[in-house]
């Protein structure tokens, strides 16, 4: 009769590093550490930035912006925007007797990344205004069209690339007045 002592290993017992469970259990913290390193590298390389550095001042200036929208409505301005293949084209019209400017300023504003914003000066060529821009992908943008003196503005949300997007002045029924403290 042969008695086996618990202190003696049998020939079928493998060393710990040949068993799958210790490796599985060690892989969980190693995976968490690697994910932390990847997240840190991604956070350092991509800067989200603040959408607007001076958001408080912009909030106080909202009444000036609303006055520019009202001026566009008084002038009866309407615009049609086409943004395709790196070109922006705007057709602008107004009430009879309104003198249209020779240049317009077009701003494409990304909703979350300030680095995705673009400003383009559009020059009048015939009946339309044209200018080149670098499209940084497709997607939703806020479009602001204004004259060089910034006396009026038209705005709209646009899905790029865009064709035939109407830019209209805001109407008093949809506008809300904000008063600064």
Report yes or no on whether pTM surpasses 0.75.
no
Same domain, 84 and 124: yes
Q: Both 75 and 153 in a single domain? A: yes
Domain that holds residue 39: 17-45
Residue 15 has pLDDT above 80, yes or no: yes
Question: Are 23 and 98 part of one and the same domain?
Answer: no
CB 93 within 8 Å of CB 81: no
Q: Is residue 160 part of a domain?
A: yes
Cα–Cα dist 116/65, whole Å:
22
Mark out the alpha helices in the chain (DSSP H runs): 20-45, 55-60, 62-75
The domain that contains 122 carries what CATH number? 2.60.40
Same-domain pairing of 40 and 88: no
71 falls within a domain? yes
CB 108 within 8 A of CB 141: yes
Task: Say if residue 72 is in the same domain as residue 151.
Answer: yes
Q: Is residue 125 part of a domain?
A: yes
Q: Is residue 119 part of a domain?
A: yes
Interval 149-175 mean pLDDT = 76
User: Which percentage of the chain shows pLDDT scores above 70?
Assistant: 85
Q: Which residues contact 113 (CB under 8 A, 6 or more apart)?
A: 48, 49, 51
110 with 23, same domain? no
99 and 32 co-located in one domain = no
pLDDT value at 69 more than 90 = no
Condensed to tens digits (0 to 9), the pLDDT of residues 86-125 reads 888 898 988 888 888 889 999 888 888 777 788 899 999 8
- Kindly tell me if the per-residue pLDDT of 54 is higher than 50: yes
Instruction: Determine the Cα–Cα distance for residues 140 and 116; give it in Å rounded to an integer.
Output: 11
Do 89 and 129 belong to one domain?
A: yes
For residue 141, give both structure tokens.
Answer: 């943008």
Cβ-based neighbours of 105, under 8 Å, separated by 6 or more:
119, 120, 121, 122, 145, 146, 147, 148, 150
Question: For residue 134, is it within any domain?
Answer: yes
Do 66 and 138 belong together in one domain?
Answer: yes
Q: Is residue 6 part of a domain?
A: no
On the CB side of 37, how many CA atoms lie within 13 Å of its CA?
Answer: 6
Does one domain contain both 149 and 60? Answer: yes
Buried residues in 102-122 as b, exposed as e (16+ CB within 10 A): eebbbbbbbeeeeeeebebeb
At residue 5, the pLDDT reads: 55
Note whether 59 and 121 are within 8 A (CB): no
Residue 45 pLDDT class (50, 70, 90 cuts): confident
Is there a single domain that holds both residue 82 and residue 29?
no
Q: Is position 78 within any domain? A: yes
What the block records as the tokens of 43 is 């956070």
Question: Which pLDDT tens digit goes with each residue over 70-89?
Answer: 888 888 898 888 887 888 88
Q: Across residues 44-53, what is the average pLDDT?
A: 73
162 and 77 belong to one structural domain: yes
């Amino acid at each position: 009769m042969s008695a086996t002592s618990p202190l003696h290993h049998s020939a079928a017992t493998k060393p710990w590093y040949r068993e799958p469970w210790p490796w599985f259990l060690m892989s969980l913290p190693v995976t968490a550490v690697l994910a932390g390193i990847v997240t840190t590298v991604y956070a350092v390389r991509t800067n989200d930035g603040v959408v607007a550095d001076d958001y408080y001042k912009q909030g106080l200036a909202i009444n000036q912006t609303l006055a520019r929208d009202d001026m566009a409505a008084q002038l009866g301005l309407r615009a049609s925007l086409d943004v395709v293949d790196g070109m922006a084209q705007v057709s602008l019209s107004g009430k009879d007797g309104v003198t249209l400017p020779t240049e317009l300023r077009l701003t494409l504003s990304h909703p979350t990344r300030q680095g995705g914003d673009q400003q383009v000066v559009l020059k009048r060529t015939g009946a339309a205004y044209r200018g080149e821009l670098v499209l940084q992908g497709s997607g939703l943008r806020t479009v602001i069209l204004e004259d060089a003196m910034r006396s009026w503005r038209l705005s709209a949300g646009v899905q790029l690339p865009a064709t035939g997007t109407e830019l209209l002045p805001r109407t008093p029924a949809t506008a809300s007045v904000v008063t600064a403290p």
